[in-house]
């Protein structure tokens, strides 16, 4: 089974750049999207349904902002919209699909790069979401948490750790949260199989960053330890260029 996570930075924009062809070629069983920037009625679901996917969207109340989705070839037993927090649910940040074998979440973590107030929201989300997942695992122990975490975990995950040491997305308190996240019982599915540097999932639109591979790895697929032995492959599709992000994927036996 192959699971992809992809911040599409506007699903309609990504669709105009060949997203459907990429999804078809990937052979993914489940795709988690972040930053839809669209309401469900604005998304051309026929493009995905024609490939055999059922589609589930959780958009932000604010038009053209945030939003997450899951498309799946296997029909979920249930789909849960939101995480029970008024602000984060209004921003369309969490959707979950439950299957017999486990649950998949598509999560769009807030960015703090626009100022102190949003950084505070981001840190609040990190703490709330950690506790939310801790409670969730009591009932749903086998989790795959896909998403744009908006944090680089280690120096190897960012092109210039020294100059970015005070930048949102690489702050010590954000990286400490990632330490705690993985220590709590999750595996970074990409790093489980790939220790090499210069693997990124997001590049600024400025200064020709993508062509020069001056990027950040901020998109992750975290797999709970109960499923980690089933990881048979993982990767980053850096050549997929429908967004300022690129897809990451994991294969589970």
DSSP secondary structure letter of residue 158: B
CA-to-CA distance for 194 and 83, rounded, in angstroms?
31
CA-to-CA distance for 248 and 67, rounded, in angstroms?
18
CA-to-CA distance for 125 and 248, rounded, in angstroms?
22
Catalytic residue among 29, 148, 188, 219: 148
Asked if 125 and 164 touch (Cβ cutoff 8 Å), the reply is no
Residue 235, SS3?
Answer: strand
Residue 242, SS3?
Answer: coil
Nearest Cα residue to 219 out of 109, 91, 64, 59: 109
Nearest Cα residue to 232 out of 251, 218, 246: 251
Nearest Cα residue to 106 out of 8, 13, 190: 8
Residues pairing with 78 in the sheet: 98
Lookup: tokens for 95: 């959707």
Active site residue 179: no
Catalytic residues: 148
């Amino acid at each position: 089974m192959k699971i992809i996570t992809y911040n599409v930075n506007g699903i309609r924009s990504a669709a105009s750049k060949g997203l459907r062809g990429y999804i078809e070629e990937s052979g993914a069983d489940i795709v988690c999207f972040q930053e839809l920037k669209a309401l469900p009625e604005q998304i051309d679901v026929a493009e995905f349904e024609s490939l055999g996917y059922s589609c589930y969207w959780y958009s932000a109340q604010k038009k053209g902002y945030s939003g997450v989705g899951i498309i799946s070839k296997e029909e979920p037993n249930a789909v849960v919209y939101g995480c029970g927090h008024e602000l984060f649910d209004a921003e369309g940040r969490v959707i979950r699909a439950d299957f017999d074998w486990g649950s998949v979440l598509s999560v769009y973590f807030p960015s703090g790069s626009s100022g102190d107030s949003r950084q505070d929201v981001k840190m609040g989300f990190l703490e709330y979401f950690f506790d939310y997942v801790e409670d969730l695992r009591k009932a749903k122990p086998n989790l795959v948490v896909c998403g744009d975490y908006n944090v680089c975990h280690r120096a190897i995950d960012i092109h210039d750790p020294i100059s970015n040491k005070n930048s949102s997305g690489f702050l010590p308190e954000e990286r400490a949260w990632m330490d705690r996240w993985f220590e709590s019982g999750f595996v970074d599915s990409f790093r489980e199989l790939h220790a090499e540097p210069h693997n990124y999932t997001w590049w600024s639109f400025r200064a020709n960053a993508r062509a020069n591979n001056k990027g950040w790895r901020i998109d992750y697929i975290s797999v709970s330890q109960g499923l980690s032995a089933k990881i048979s492959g993982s990767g980053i599709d850096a050549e997929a260029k429908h967004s300022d992000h690129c897809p990451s994927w994991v294969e589970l036996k």
